[in-house]
Amino acid sequence: MEDLTNYKIDFPFFLWSPKKAKTIINEHKDQIHFLNEEGTKLIQQLLFTSKMIGTNDNEDWHFFYKNYFKDVKSISILEGF
């Protein structure tokens, strides 16, 4: 498997202001990795070949195939955070 650290980019401040980003606990920062375009494509390919995500041909659409995970939680990302 590829070493994803080769594709890491700096924390994108479009999500939070630099001041607010500094307040995020290091434990959380260590778990969140932002990737460049090549790394993003690598993860997309991995997810599609794992059959974890894809199209669901019904009205009750879910990002992940239904019953692939026991629980799936969603969050909203708001503009101007």
Number of domains in the chain: 1
What count of Cα atoms within 13 Å lies in the side-chain half-sphere of residue 62? 12
pTM of the model: 0.54
Q: What is the extent of the structural domain holding 76?
A: 1-81
At 32, the pLDDT band (50, 70, 90 cuts) reads confident
CA distances 57 to 41, 54, 65, 72, Å, are 24, 10, 10, 19
pLDDT attached to residue 51:
72
Is residue 58's pLDDT more than 80? no
Strand partners, 64: 53
